[in-house]
Amino acid sequence: MSPVLVISRNPQVVGLVQQAWGPDGYAIAPEQFPDSVQSLLAHLQGAPLPAVAVLDPAEQVMSALSLAVDLDRNFSIASVLVTDRVAEVSLDAMRAGVRDIVTPTAPAEEMKKALERAATHSGPRVTQQQASSVPGAATQRGKVVTVASPKGGVGKTTVSTNLAVGLAQRLPQSTVLVDLDIHFGDVASALNVTSEFTLPDMAHGAAAQDALALKSYLYLHQTGLYVVPGSESPAAADAVTSKDVVNLLDTLATQFKYVVVDTAPGLSEHTLAVLDQTDILVLVTSLDVPGVRGLRKELDTLRDIGLMLESRSVVLNFMHPSRGISVGDVEASIGRKVDFQIPQSNSVPISVNQGIPLLQNGSRDPVAKQLRALVDSVDNADKADAKGRRFLDFGLRKEVAQ
């Protein structure tokens, strides 16, 4: 039978699980109920992770629900909650992905059935080493990676969707993509997502500041990327304030290693609020004079308002020799180097129309190659930062303004 872990300080509950499951059950009795996989690992002392976890938190129900989310989302480990406050906690438990609720005094037969049902939902087993390396379970705050440009139609959504998919493919469930092109966002269409919940549902009310509730609203894309799709209606989007956006990104950064943000053109109030929270900025421009001039003005404005960037990443899109300006011209105009050059290619509109980002289907196209290089540099910027070094040729730093 699948191994079942019971976390409980109540011998009656431990006995119930052993009676229901036999020798494949094992128990720990921590004083503080673990609220994440990381804190659970500290108690397991090298024992393998189970297929099913029985959570008996007594008064620490919120910790148990937080652990249930972590186990389910990151490791497909099913949870059974033990509580005598069934009516009170069942909605939150359901949102946290708990499979079943059993009372501490239930008959062994009931526990057995709950465990059998839960075992059919658990995914492939993970080792402790894999568990430790998953950032969804990490306590460190994630990085906000913002894709912006002064003009529309230059490739922001193309870049942000591919960047997010690329990061998620590297580390499943490490990344969330937020469509903050508030009124006319098209991330959902670029990823072929039809979601019951969109930005206004997630940015308003309790969900925006409650990681547990928020995670239950997110759309899980087949690549392992979580998505906050843009609003269906511009009117509903109007109700989303920049403060809502700040709260939402703050909460997401506690749950994900990367929060990738697609933005509307220009420096709207929402975009400025996002830039203030941004760790890594990716600026996109098309290879034409209005686009490049717009980018120069945006860089000047960011400097003028004190959002000084030590260095940033500039992506030049729609590269084509027939366009009449060169990379050198662009670099001279904006006063810095271009980091990535994405060629103009029919593969882009085709992938957008299919709703399958180029990096999702493993394309070897020259466009995909540049997008992969961008994924590498974001990932490496993060690694450099994690080692305590400053961003090398990448990222947003505000202190330079002093």
Ligand X SMILES: Nc1ncnc2c1ncn2[C@@H]1O[C@H](COP(=O)(O)OP(=O)(O)O)[C@@H](O)[C@H]1O
Give which of ligand X, Mg ion, none residue 285 binds (C-beta under 5 to 8 Å, depending on kind): none
Single out the residue of 242, 255, 245, 224 nearest to residue 357, CA to CA: 224
Tokens found for residue 344 = 């103009």
Among 367, 374, 378, 381, binds ligand X (CB under 6 A): 367
Closest distance to ligand X from the beta carbon of 161 (Å) = 8
Among 342, 356, 371, 374, binds ligand X (CB under 6 A): 342
Between 159 and 253, name the residue whose CB sits nearer to ligand X.
159
Closest distance to ligand X from the beta carbon of 185 (Å) = 9
- Choose the stretch contacting ligand X; rule: CB under 6 A; options: 11-19, 148-156, 217-225, 322-330: 148-156
Closest distance to ligand X from the beta carbon of 342 (Å) = 5
Among 10, 76, 103, 344, binds ligand X (CB under 6 A): 344
Phi-psi region of 205 (alpha: psi -120 to 50; beta: other; left: phi over 0): left
Give which of ligand X, Mg ion, none residue 5 binds (C-beta under 5 to 8 Å, depending on kind): none
Q: Is the dihedral of CA 88, 91, 95, 101 positive or negative?
A: positive
Give which of Mg ion, ligand X, none residue 367 binds (C-beta under 5 to 8 Å, depending on kind): ligand X
Between 34 and 343, name the residue whose CB sits nearer to ligand X.
343
Angle, helices 61-75/37-44, rounded to nearest 10 degrees? 90
Rounded to a whole number of angstroms, the CA Rg of the chain reads 24
Q: Which residue is nearest to Mg ion (CB)?
A: 157
d(CA 171, CA 207): 25
Q: Who contacts 102 (Cβ-Cβ below 8 Å, separation ≥6)?
A: 80, 81, 82, 110, 111, 114
Check if the beta carbon of residue 68 is closer than 8 Å to that of residue 83: no
Q: Could you give the residue ranges of the DSSP H alpha helices within 26-105?
A: 37-44, 61-75, 86-95
d(CA 107, CA 80): 15
Amino acid residing at 178: V
Between 76 and 345, name the residue whose CB sits nearer to ligand X.
345
- Choose the stretch contacting Mg ion; rule: CB under 5 A; options: 80-88, 154-162, 273-281, 316-324: 154-162
Secondary structure class of 134 (helix, strand, coil): coil
Stretch (H or E) spanning 175 = strand 175-180
Our finding on whether 317 is near ligand X (CB under 6 A) is yes
- Choose the stretch contacting ligand X; rule: CB under 6 A; options: 72-80, 251-259, 322-330, 343-351: 343-351
Between 158 and 251, name the residue whose CB sits nearer to ligand X.
158
Entry field: residues in the chain: 402
Our finding on whether 231 is near Mg ion (CB under 5 A) is no
Our finding on whether 318 is near ligand X (CB under 6 A) is yes
Separation in Å, CA 142 to CA 10, 114, 275, 352: 36, 35, 15, 28
Among 136, 155, 230, 395, binds ligand X (CB under 6 A): 155
Among 157, 161, 174, 223, binds Mg ion (CB under 5 A): 157
β-pairing, 143-148 with 280-286? parallel
Our finding on whether 152 is near ligand X (CB under 6 A) is yes
Closest distance to Mg ion from the beta carbon of 282 (Å) = 13
Between 118 and 187, name the residue whose CB sits nearer to Mg ion.
187
Phi-psi region of 293 (alpha: psi -120 to 50; beta: other; left: phi over 0): alpha
- Choose the stretch contacting ligand X; rule: CB under 6 A; options: 133-141, 153-161, 199-207, 381-389: 153-161
Tokens found for residue 193 = 């997502």
Our finding on whether 317 is near Mg ion (CB under 5 A) is no
Binding residues for ligand X, rule: CB under 6 A, are 149, 152-158, 317-318, 342, 344-345, 348-349, 352, 367
Binding residues (CB under 5 A) for Mg ion: these are 156-157
